[in-house]
Amino acid sequence: MNMLLQGPLVLRPLYLFNVMHLPLFFLSDSISRLDQKCLFNSSHSRRRGQPVERDFRQHHNQGVWREVQEERRQESIPRGVCLSMCPIRELQDREAQNLLHRFEVLSGTERERWPRADPSGVVKEYARPAAGKDSTRPSDLRPPAVLLKTVFYLVDNIAASPTLRPWTEVYDFVFDRLRSVRQDMIIQRVSGADCVAVLERTVRFLIYASYRLCGEPLRLYDPRINDTHLQESLSWLLECYTSGKHPNQEEFQALGLLYNLGSSRATQHTMELPERIRSSPVMHLALSVSRAFMERNPVRLLRLAHSLDFLQSCALHRHLETCRRDLLLIYSHGHSSKNCRFPLHKLAHILALDVPLTNQLCQAHGVEVRGDYVVFSKTSFTEPEAGKLQCAHFHDLVDRKQRDLTVGSIIHGCT
Amino acid sequence: MAHITINQYLQQVYEAIDNHEGSFCAELLSFKHPHVANPRLQLASPEEKCQQVLEVPYDEMVAAHLRCTYAVSNHDFVEAYKCQTLVVQYPFGISGDYFGYIFSSLPIPEGFDDCRMIFQAEQQLLRKGKGKLGDMLEKAAEQLMGCFRVCASDNRAGIDDSKKWGMLFLINQLFKIYFKINKLHLCKPLIRAIDSSNLKDDYSMAQRVTYKYYVGRKAMFDSDYKPAEEYLSFSFQHCHRSSQRNKRMILIYLLPVKMLLGHMPNHQLLRKYDLMQFADVTKAVSEGNLLLLNEALAKHETFFIRCGIFLILEKLKIITYRNLFKKVYQLLKTHQLPLDAFLVALKMMQVEEVDIDEVQCILANLICEGHIKGYISHQHQKLVVSKANPFPLLSSSS
């Protein structure tokens, strides 16, 4: 409370009342720079030319102080000069403290007490911004060209590597290092083609990972964290697309729509795209899938899903569970009768699953199977127990599209 | 008003404050009042003059207001917006008691009445290539949120002086901004605040109409059609007869909701409010004519997308299927309808790539939603409908 009273109290008693209202502004974490200027550019400081404003801010919390500093530095955006994937300082620090990752260690020195760094393999790691820490030192920032080179290294030598195992560890490493790349981009306000190239690969990687690691235990892979970062990167990418021409735009608008199937926000965004993008074949297919989902026509949706390519199927796959559940629900009501005999193989065909899996799915949903026939009944349908059904078992629709695609080609987009 | 001098103007402000004439004071600071067109008041630095006549903090406030008129006359909306925010900050520096009741409702709303100014500032920034869309609006929203919090937490003054009267107005402005920047989830806490307030039915009708309009639109977006219909109908009925433009805006959202519940508008209504875009859609849905529906949606696509109702109108397809299939039932005059008949009907409507499996799915969906009473027999490839009222009224089954 002391700091709040320091400024205004000096000058006018009336403002004692003011101060009571101020905490509301302080507690709000949405206080903008404009707010502060209005509040503290009060008459006395301007009239008498006193630096009350500056003193006050110095006692205010760190975050706001940094914001003010940043504002003053706005004219000078940091420009990185580090030409390697990792700043020398960090490499030396981590090597000395034995904090190198398994993939960054010079081969042959892994078993030693202090493994040595492989300069061609160390990549700058993500570090949370902290008070008092300067994350804008040019020697620590990598310029856009180096960032792109780093991404290529991560994709070709780590993510697509046929020898590095397990893939959960590969994912962790690439995820973290890509996050650091994005951080460098944010600090340097990178935009345009470089930014787009990095983000496109990031999004493809995260979508691929969401499929490949689906079903892994939570301690090894958290789908929620993957989703958060995927959505962030996707939003940023779509924002970049609003200026300039980008050849892959349709691909990513479609991926965004499929990944966020059912979201009114994503669908509305797509509807507002220019006609020529919406009418491209890839968007047209994605929109048809979206429409089928909105109209609750799972038969049509699953049929259209056959035409999607591998990465699109990866983006869609987490919605397939809902889709199949919808189908069983609708059919339970629509075919509900005592004499119902719906062929099991027919149901399997519609669900794009094999017969044993269809059987398993029906049982989980309370749908009765008698030999080769399914007996639908609206009263017997139930929601499956949480965790009973494992999405990973039902991946066939996506699996068979991978064929001989390499991870590298999937992420770089040259399929 | 349009020809007074700066001194006369300041004198009027002074007297208004001195005599506690809240509403007159508000007018003198409002952009709807003719004084803003007076070139003698459009000054770039009126601080000196204001200090001579008025006390702190009114001098600052009025000076900011005058700077604002100057900026607007120069079409510099960014500067105008900045001045306007300053104007609004000052009333909150004043505690209740002596000054409170002057500021309890009016200057605050007046200061922000011109959300138009904010939008214009936004446009200017965009044209200059600076700032992202929504930057300025987000900042304005933050300001308004600050004002709102002060109003909401005002527990000191009596009910007549309370700042709580400003709440609904501020909320309406915030809604406007949130809808514009497409962040509807931020509306929820505001709605909760009003729902729990005991003043909610005592605000002016104009404010309540606006409030229900936005809440209705939000409900629509969340697919809660029954509450959406309630809110929007209230808004429409209580909206003043002379505000044709506002009534039209409400109708744009009320019509799709009503259509989803099975109530089709008549042509007179559409013509009266210049909403003939809905005419074809209405006709298609009631006839079960999918082809016409698709054509109508495509024809007025831009209009519907801009209003944000395209996706909801697509939901009318279900109703159209129901009406189409009802016709098939009426034609065949039997309770055991071959699935093929429906397939033929859909093919006639030029629905692409539809097969018998999809027909089953669509029919099953209609049964599931309660639009058809019956069941499908896969073995006999027939739809067996109930002998009594197989196609219940839409309003009862939604």
Most confident of B50-59, B108-117, B314-323: B314-323
Residue A215 has pLDDT above 80, yes or no: yes
- Residue A168 belongs to a domain: yes
- Residue % of chain B over a pLDDT of 70: 79
Contacts of B182 in chain A (CB under 8 A): 265, 268
A335 to chain B, closest Cα gap in Å:
5
Question: Are residues A219 and A357 both part of a single domain?
Answer: no
Choose between A410 and A389: higher pLDDT: A410
CA atoms within 13 A on the CB side of B61: 26
pLDDT classification of B49: cutoffs 50, 70, 90: confident
pLDDT of residue B281: 92
A28/B377 touch (CB, cutoff 8 Å), yes or no: no
Domain boundary among A214, A240, A266: A240
Evaluate if residue B207 carries a pLDDT over 90.
no
Q: What is the model's pLDDT at position B96?
A: 32
For residue A227, tell me if it sits in a domain.
Answer: yes
Length of chain B: 398
B95 touches chain A (CB under 8 A): yes
Mutate to test the interface with A, among B54, B156, B376, B381 (most CBs of A within 10 A): B376
Q: With CB atoms and an 8 Å threshold, state whether A300 touches B57.
A: no
pLDDT for B98 beyond 60: no
- All residues of chain B having their beta carbon less than 8 Å from the beta carbon of residue A297 are 358, 361-362, 365
pLDDT tier for residue B88 given thresholds of 50, 70 and 90: low
Reduced DSSP (H G I as helix, E B as strand, rest coil) percent helix, strand, coil of chain B, to 5: 70, 5, 30
* Mean pLDDT value of segment A252-272: 92
Token pair in block for residue A11: 């000058």
Q: Is the peptide bond before A356 cis (omega within 30 degrees of 0)?
A: no
Q: A141 and A44 in one domain?
A: no
Packing angle between helix B356-369 and helix B316-332, nearest 10 degrees?
100
| B358 reaches A (C-beta below 8 A) | yes
A143 part of a folded domain: yes
Query: Same structural domain for residues A113 and A163?
Result: yes
CATH of residue A400: 1.10.10
Instruction: Output the pLDDT for position A221.
Output: 94
Q: Which tens digit of pLDDT belongs to each residue from B285-342?
A: 989 999 999 899 989 988 898 888 888 888 899 999 999 999 999 999 899 999 999 9
Residues in chain A: 415
Q: Over 80: is that where the pLDDT of A147 sits? A: yes
Instruction: Kindly indicate the confidence band of residue A15, based on its pLDDT and cuts at 50, 70 and 90.
Output: very low
Confirm whether A393 is domain-assigned. Answer: yes
**Is the whole model's pTM more than 0.90, yes or no?**
no
Same domain, A332 and A374: yes
A29 touches chain B (CB under 8 A): no
Model confidence band, residue A74 (pLDDT cutoffs 50, 70, 90): low
**B-interface mutation test, from A268, A306, A372, most B Cβ less than 10 A away:** A268
- A4: exposed, middle or buried (C-beta count within 10 Å: 0-12, 13-18, 19+)? middle
From chain B, the residues in CB contact with A291 under 8 A are 314
* CA angle at B307 for the pair B304 and B313, rounded to the nearest 5°: 45
Q: pLDDT (tens digit, 9 = 90+) per residue, B258-270?
A: 998 888 898 999 9
Beta strands in A76-235 (DSSP E): none
A337 close contact with B: CB closer than 8 A: yes
Residues from chain A that touch B89, judged by Cβ atoms under 8 A, are 38-39
Q: Are A381 and A347 contained in the same domain?
A: yes
A130 assigned to some structural domain: no
The number of folded domains in chain A is 3
Domain that holds residue A45: 17-59
Helix, strand and coil content of chain A, in percent to the nearest 5, comes to: 60, 0, 40
Q: Which residue has the higher pLDDT, B385 or A135?
A: B385
Q: Average pLDDT, whole number, for chain A?
A: 83
Question: Taking a C-beta distance cutoff of 8 angstroms, is the pair A305, A313 a contact?
Answer: yes
Distance CA B366, CA B360 (A): 10
CB-nearest to A350 from B94, B150, B357 is: B357
Closest CA to A137 of A122, A127, A151, A152: A127
* Interchain pair A268, B363: CB under 8 A: no
Which pLDDT tens digit goes with each residue over B362-375? 999 999 999 999 99
Q: Are residues A31 and A102 in the same domain?
A: no
Partners of residue A25 in chain B, C-beta under 8 Å: 146
- By the 8 A CB rule, do B147 and B88 touch? yes
Same domain, residue pair A93 and A155: yes
Residue A388 included in any domain: yes
- CA A240 – CA A254 distance, rounded (Å): 16
Handedness of CA A323, A324, A330, A333 (dihedral sign): negative
Chain A closest-CA separation from residue B241 CA (Å): 32
Q: How far is A280 from chain B (nearest CA, A)?
A: 16
Question: Which of A181, A212, A240 delimits the end of a domain?
Answer: A240
Could you tell me if A222 and A100 lie in one domain? yes
Question: Tokens 């406030």 sit at which residue?
Answer: B61
Q: Is A297 part of a structural domain of the chain? A: no
Query: B14 in contact with A at a CB cutoff of 8 Å?
Result: no
Q: Confidence band (pLDDT; 50, 70, 90) for B282?
A: very high
Cβ-based contacts of A14 with chain B (< 8 Å): 56
Instruction: Tell me the chain A residues in contact with residue B178 when contact means C-beta distances shorter than 8 Å.
Output: none
Is A338 in the same domain as A405? yes
Position B29 pLDDT exceeds 80: no
Q: Are residues A52 and A109 in the same domain?
A: no
**Interface ipTM:** 0.75
Q: Which residues on chain A are in Cβ contact (under 8 Å) with B142?
A: 30-32, 34-35
Which residue among A12, A264, A337 places its CB closest to the CB of B375?
Answer: A337
A300 touches chain B (CB under 8 A): yes
A171 and A219 in a common domain: yes
Of A240, A261, A282, the domain-final residue: A240
- Same domain for A231 and A349, yes or no, is no
In a domain, residue A287? The reply is: no
Q: Does B59 touch chain A (CB under 8 A)?
A: yes
